[in-house]
Amino acid sequence: MNALLYPIATEKVLGSVDRDNTIVYVVDMRSNKKQIKEEFEKTFGVKVARINTSISIKNIKKAYIRIGKESKASDIARRLKLV
């Protein structure tokens, strides 16, 4: 199962890339934080510090993935062509 579906690139999210070192992904509804963390670390080769999830009214699950201090979320955003 692929936990990570696609990244979100709104103005608010792109602000959190620099400010909070965070990337926001839409994830599979059945995935848990452990699965999201393992897949993100394996895909991007970075250490994940913390994950928060939320489910919107439209039944979309988002994961707010905070990257560890040794890496920069802006580098990952460039790799994803968000910026």
Which backbone phi and psi does 52 adopt, to 5 degrees? -115, 140
pLDDT of residue 83: 80
pTM of the prediction?
Answer: 0.93
Return all residues near 69 (Cβ < 8 A) that are at least 6 apart. Answer: 21, 49
Residues of the chain with pLDDT > 90: what percent?
94
Q: Domain residues of the chain, as ranges?
A: 4-79
Architecture of domain 4-79: 2-Layer Sandwich (3.30)
Measured distance CA(3)–CA(1) in Å, rounded: 6
Asked if pLDDT for residue 1 goes beyond 90, the answer is no
DSSP states of 12-24 = HHHHHHHHH-EEE
